[in-house]
Structure 1
Amino acid sequence: MTTDSSNSAAWQAPEPVGPLNANVPIPGSKSLSNRYLVLAAAGRKSVELRGLLRSRDTELMISALETLGVRITANHSDPTTVRVEAPSDGRYQGNVTIDCGLAGTVMRFVPGLAMSADGPVTFDGDSQAYQRPMAPLLDGLRQLGADIVFHGQQGYLPFTLTPPQHWNSGKISIDASASSQFISGLLLTASTFPHGIILKHTGKRLPSLPHIRMTVDDVKHAGVQIKAHEYQREWLVEPGPVQLPFIVGIEPDLSNAAPFLGAALLAGGSVEVPHWPEHTTQPGGLLPGYLQSLGAKVEMIPDQGQLLCKVTSDGTIHGLGDFDLSAAGEIAPSLAALLVFADAPTRMLGIGHLRGHETNRLAALVEEINRIGGHAEELPEGIAITPVPQESLHPAELRSYADHRMATFAAMLGLRVHGITVDDIGTTSKTLPEFVDMWHSLLDVKN
């Protein structure tokens, strides 16, 4: 049944006027931006971050660090360049409340810094954030000696962390099956703990391992002695100073490139993303290979010491059968939008942890694909998408679920399905505040 738009504020997804021919610069990586903000705040000397993403998630991180007493100053002529100056004595302000919004990196990375506060720190956030699990991270901090008091459901926001009066040994065992951010949140600040940590993951699976490798790489960049024993699911961080170089450049967000590069497969033509790093720890670095598997022509063209990623397509999209996406689950919504129009079914597997993201992304993707007349089913560790004839798909108002990647997923569907609207396109401000303008520019249509 066709679902008509009943929301006057809904955004009308634009349709392509012809094959694409676009060059789309992508702002800085949210994952790297918030990791480097935390590492800069853990140091003792000022750090200048260049290419910082300015979005809701990074603004929440900046506000959280400032609440703890970190001084962060933006360049007047370029707000993507900021100077970070941590308290010189290594003690953060306690008896404060931090607003995490819906940012997993804030709610899971900042508690490690709060272990060095001079009083209790309360963490709160959006009501939808109350559904995002926190227990494994906080259990790890408790094992170190922190006192945690929950003000609602056990294991979730809001909660108050009181720093240890007496630190236990640094041995921690947690089950991080629900999110790699639990491990990253501990690794980022572990060297500031008196004994460092020996961290053991006890779960059967470990999602988003590339994100953990990104964290390890960033921590090493800050001069910390860290060893990763991935086979044993164990990480060792030595106690010691944290200090990033004075100037740190931040790569473009390669996962945010997915809707734009993927648009070439939906509308035909070519899309280029400049400043693609030759080597990266971002899971989004796997995107060009995925698009090639789907049938696109992908070229990595040398461009002033970096690469230009160019994706060209005639609109043909191949199904992938059983496809393990565990290494880059955050790309799943963009790939799902493409697979709706593929020439064969696909089962995206290894992404069960997406149920604990901004929303239950697996359930949301299935709901919205089926809403337009497509066919998708939820699996224990992923989703199955079975393409239907395109003429069977129909207009609908799609929900964003306060999830930026669900909003961009809906915009992608609008490239092939007439009459797609999105109930809250503004949720893209979480990581891509200029998304609407960028999308219209991609399609060469007026706002």
Structure 2
Amino acid sequence: MRTTIASFLAIVWVVIIGCSTAGAQSQITFWTTEVEQDRLETQKEIARAFTQKTGIDLRVVPVQENLLTQRITAAYAARSLPDVVFHPIDFTIGWAEAGILDNKSATEVVNHLGKDTFSAGPLTLAQVPKGYAAVPADGWGQLLLYRKDLFEKKGLPVPERWDHILQAAKALHNPPLMWGFEAATDPGQTYTQQVFEHIALSNGVRLIGPSGKVTLDTPQMVETLEFYKALTRFTPPGNLYWLHTRLDYLTGRAAMIIWSPFILDELSGLRRDQPVVPDIAKGEPGFLARNTGFVTIIRGKKGAAQYGQINYLGITRDANKATAKKWVEFLLTDGYLQWLGMAPEGKLPMRKGTRDKPNCFIDGWMGLEFGVTTRAKISKFYGMDVVKAIIAGVDGFDRWGFAKGKGALISKIYGTKIIPEILKRFLDGELNAKQAARMMDERVKALEDS
């Protein structure tokens, strides 16, 4: 009798354990840095659709981007990482090297969806031995915005080359009514790193040289520093960052700025909380949008480049790998256009289409509406030529170090902001160009060794 009871209890216990394990495996957690309320609601809608299709519960957890590394570090130590984390390229390779991300799962997703369905550039930046550290989700390429109407009046060429940029900045400079070019100068802002890195890449400045070592003390870097300082002659005094440059362009006080595509909805006048002064002055809604030109690739003396910021979906070490892969694949297929639609001006599709429909996500993105107070298609304000130019740049997005496997070092550079700090000292006259290049080289090498 006792044996029978014991056997029965054992069977019940196995069933209980099996049920609890199945329950645990049927729910996964997704950390996202898209924390705005409207975007959270969209992500929860996508999650509900995923649950309805698969039976797997998905918990969407918002995490502020500036707290993401801290939260990930704590979760890693506690072995409680989320199943999937949406994050910028700045962390991808470093997290893979630290064992936070599961390269094998990400690579399996890419191969299952089809490597050729993704843009080549974003895959290259996330490449690790035997595959990829994470799966590309969305991104944007930095743009040089310029006043087409003012350029045409002065007969100025498109500012896609260094000499043309300086020529136009000098010709249009009329402070305080109009600043010829607003360069980023705030040493405490990531924006300054982004703008300066774009200019440096355009002159062939690479973080890693042919020897595989940090190589910033080069003639190309000296040229870049001197060019950047020349630009600041046409820039307002003080420490400028994204808020200043955006405000001055939207109020008609800047002839050229470098910004992300997230400015497109404000520029078009679709936000009531951000008046576009030239539109008001002319009495023509959309005037500034129609009279803004966009340069994607800047050409220096020794190169050409467009800075790109890419966001990835990382499957972590602690994930339920099978269900996490299903979520990533769903998000990049059934839920993809809804995801991109949260902010299409700054969420370019890194997955172009499916095997059967190679361009379906690009075509779908072009039909998405942007804006907050009022919504409209991007092509309505800027034309299909601009839209196609923006999307065409994805394959060529460039960044320091990632393609050379130096993502962990990049994370340190961005975290410490040593490049903007030294740049500011140079701009203030504390250092000459050669001294600044040498100091950048030394400080970055010290970071790599730390």
State the TM-score, normalizing by the size of structure 2. Answer: 0.24
Bigger RCO of structures 1 and 2 (CA < 8 A, at least 6 apart): 2
Higher fraction of helix = 2
- What TM-score, normalized by structure 1, do the two folds share? 0.24
